[in-house]
Structures are given as structure tokens and as C-alpha cells.
Amino acid sequence: MSQNPRQAAAVRQVYGTMGPVAKGLKEGVKSHVLAARFAAAGDPSIVGGIKAELQCEDTKIRNVAVKTLSHLAGHRPQWLLGELDSFLGLLTSEENIWKWAAMDVAGHLAGVDEERKIGDAVIKVLIAALEDESMVTAAHGVD
């Protein structure tokens, strides 16, 4: 999930060198609260700032960023619709937290997916998750 230079500049102008997720973490705010705040603010450009943090060297920031995007998809699915292909690519990630976020995003975006990208192949991945040895993965498959 790449970010264009104009988005990056806009995010830096608002948040300085610290991204929105890193700033929230510094303040002790959880990902679901960050997502609710961002959704309430009503500015879809925040997605670019959060996406930029997916490239951060700090694993905690990366993981909280992907979780924040997942929660944000529940509040404002239309904001993440352009990222659907990227999230669908994460369904087979080796990183469980990224896989779980992708499953959640697929569920949140299914109602606004007019192109029907969430089709049989995605459904098969979600159904296969039910048989995963991890109860968390199975739960995200049905969530």
C-alpha cells in the first residue's frame, strides 16, 4: 500500500514527522479509539498517513497502523475501498496480525464492494481460516 508524495506532504503538515498512529501510541491511545477519532474527524486523507506507517521500522507502529486501518474500515468503509486489493493480498500473509486485519477489512468492505472483488476466492480463504490451528485466526474468519 503505497502513498503518493502529495498525501505524504499533507500528512507531514498535519502531524509533523510523527505519523498519526505513532502520535496516538505516544499518547497511550488504542487502535480502535484512534480509528473512531479519525472517522469522527471526517477527513479521509488520514488513510494516507496511516498507510505510510505500515512502512515504519518499528513493528509496534506497523501493527497498530494495520489494526487502525481495520477498525477504520468498520467506521468508514468507503475510505478504504481503494485499498481493497492490497488488503486482499494480505489474506495469506505470514504475519498473523496483518492476516487478521485483512479478514476484518474484507468483512467491513463487503457491503460497499460494488465491483465484487470479495468473491469466491476470498470466501474460500475465510472458510479455510475456520480450520486454522489458531482460534484467533478462526475467529477473524467469521467475524
Tell me the per-residue pLDDT of 114-132, one tens digit each, with 9 for 90 and over. 888 888 878 888 888 888 7
Yes or no: say if 88 and 102 are a contact pair by the CB < 8 Å rule: yes
Tell me the per-residue pLDDT of 67-116, one tens digit each, with 9 for 90 and over. 999 999 999 999 999 998 888 888 888 899 999 999 999 989 988 988 88
Q: What are the grid coordinates assigned to 125, written together? A: 480463504
Pick the range with the lowest mean pLDDT from 21-35, 46-60, 89-103, 127-141: 127-141
Terminal-to-terminal C-alpha distance of the chain: 24
Q: What are the grid coordinates assigned to 115, written together? A: 465491483
Determine if the pTM surpasses 0.85: no
Residue type (1 letter), 87: F
Residue 30, Ramachandran bin (φ over 0: left; ψ between -120 and 50: alpha; else beta): beta
CA 114, 136, 63 angle in degrees (round to 5)? 75
Whole-number percent of the chain with pLDDT over 90: 43
pLDDT: is 53 or 5 the higher one? 53
104/100 Cα distance (integer angstroms): 6
Q: How many helices (H) and strands (E) does the chain have?
A: 10, 0
134 phi and psi, to 5 degrees? -90, 125
